[in-house]
Structure 1
Amino acid sequence: MSVKRKSTQIDFAQNVPQQVTEWLEEAAFTLAALPANGLRPAGARSGWPDIVRDLEDVGRLDSDIMPPRPEPDEVSRLDQVLSWVQVFGPSEQHYRRVINMRLIVHPISGMHRWNWRKIAKVMGTDHKRAHDWHRCAVEVIAKKIAHPAFFSSQTPQNTVF
């Protein structure tokens, strides 16, 4: 379902937008593999029942086997990718929405919950434009993370370079 990455850093000598795309894909699978229950602190209790899967999920399940829990390095890369989503300024909110929608993956089938046509319908545009927005968003992320100042704790992540 997902490709295991060995590197914990983007190689800026290689094709950065391609690497960003690969990291986004891995982050989507990692996010889907995170457990949805048992995450409360030990002392916290709730009277609510466990999460019930959507009917859409139940109809398409090939098996009841959930993906294995992600490794710590996969979660670290997920955290890094989720910080990239914050680089978009107010005029680029449609990029952020498209990226976030594509990060939602079915945990068993590995299929994106939001295909390009669904995204286009929600955002009131054409599916080709939604796909182009995703591609442009990846390029924006690649351009912004290529600057060493992006990784400085003193620089706000949404600073326009």
Structure 2
Amino acid sequence: MTHQRVPQQAPMIPAVKPVRDEGYGIDADFVIYRLEEAGATLLALPGTGWSTRLRSSSLEMVRSALESYGWSETVVRPAVPSAEKISRMDEALGWIPLIPVDRYVLRRVVGARSLVHPVTDRHLYPWRRLGKALGADHKAIQRWHGQGIALIVQALKAIA
């Protein structure tokens, strides 16, 4: 009976696409801009999709009739992002796993700060709110965010 040698698997490294820096250098400002753009794109995506079940309120004629009588409140929704924006979002959000797993607090801070409302351009989690949620001073949260961004920049420069 012969034994076949099974090749060892490489350690799990997050799959990161090549960075498109659009002619700019990879630095902290670039990474923050791209993460905030990705967060705004993520929040602009529709929360629900079409279902296979027919609902009477999903018909355009019924919906317009209900809206014309003021039976529903108007909600300002951002435009659905383009396919290019969604691709850029996937690329940028793929950078967060470049922060080591043992630094999970930095991952949380960087991920939370990347969420920017697509209409108002305001952060969903200001520094003080993050500090309260994590039980830390807002200045420490800002410092941790900077450390997380620096780790991402360092990893992206090593890839590029």
Question: TM-score if structure 2 supplies the norm length?
Answer: 0.68
Counterpart of 1:104, as a letter, is L
Relative contact order, CA 8 A, sep 6+: which one is greater? 2
Residue number among 107, 111, 115 corresponding to 2:122 in the alignment: 111
Whether 1:123 and 2:134 are equivalent positions in the alignment is: yes
Q: Which residue of 1 aligns with 2:32?
A: 21
Q: Percentage identity across aligned positions?
A: 30
| 1:109 CA displacement | 2.7
The alpha-carbon deviation at position 108 of structure 1 amounts to 3.5
Contact 2:32 2:114 survives alignment (8 Å): no
Matched letter for residue 129 of structure 1: A
Amino acid at match of 1:124: G
Partners in 2 of 1:64 and 1:72 — Cα distance? 24
Q: Aligned pair in 2 of structure 1 residues 13, 36: CA closer, same or farther (>3 Å)?
A: closer
Q: 2:26 touches 2:156 (CA, 8 Å); kept in 1?
A: no
Q: Summarize deviations over 1:102-160 as a string: whole Å, max 9, x none.
A: 23333433322211111111111100110111111111101001123xx7xxxxxxxxx
The answer on whether the counterparts of 1:27 and 1:103 sit within 8 Å (CA) in structure 2 is yes
Q: Secondary structure at 2:94's aligned position in 1?
A: helix
User: Paired residues, what number?
Assistant: 126
CA gap of 1:124–1:12, structure 2 versus 1, over 3 A, is farther
Alignment correspondent of 1:144: 155
Q: Which has the larger radius of gyration?
A: 2
The alignment's C-alpha RMSD in Å is: 2.9
Q: What is residue 96 of structure 1 aligned with on the other side?
A: 107
Match of 2:20 in 1: 9
Q: Deviation string for 1:21-69 (max 9, x for gaps)?
A: 110111111111111111x6x65x5x9xxxxxxxxxxxxxxx7321111
- Give the aligned residue type for 2:117: H
Alignment correspondent of 2:83: 72
The one-letter code of the counterpart of 1:133 is W
Quote the residue 2:6 is aligned against: none
CA separation in 1, counterparts of 2:121 and 2:27?
24
Quick check: 2:26–2:153 contact (8 Å CA) kept in 1? no
Distance 2:117 2:28 in 1: 24
Structure 1 unpaired stretches of 5+: 1-7, 48-62, 152-161
2: CA distance, partners of 1:21 / 1:109: 18
Alignment gaps of 5+ in structure 2? 1-18, 56-73
Partner amino acid for 2:98?
Answer: V
Q: What's the TM-score once normalised by structure 1's chain length?
A: 0.67
What is the identity, as a one-letter code, of the residue corresponding to 1:102? R
Whether the 8 Å contact between 1:67 and 1:107 is mirrored in structure 2 is yes
